[in-house]
Structure 1
């Protein structure tokens, strides 16, 4: 299984940059993956640029 991507992985778009996954986005932004997920699910106006790619 090493090297394979998980089947439940979702793409994320943050500031018009598309990332392969929440983990990839968190590594590039230097934050915890839970922080990225919180910002995606947040109803706040502060994080409107954080979304899943449909």
Structure 2
């Protein structure tokens, strides 16, 4: 949690607000890949990339 607090403080002080949507999209894609690994949806997910 310290890393998260420090990272958010960095974004706030450096005014890098445009990074927040990018990071959220990357987290959502990684979560999608981890949760559907080994399922029937895997071939469809890999075709996205």
State the TM-score, normalizing by the size of structure 1. 0.23
Identify, as 1 or 2, the structure richer in strand.
Answer: 1
Identify, as 1 or 2, the structure richer in helix.
Answer: 2
**Structure with larger Rg:** 2
Q: Which has the higher contact order (CA 8 A, sep 6+)?
A: 1
State the TM-score, normalizing by the size of structure 2. 0.25
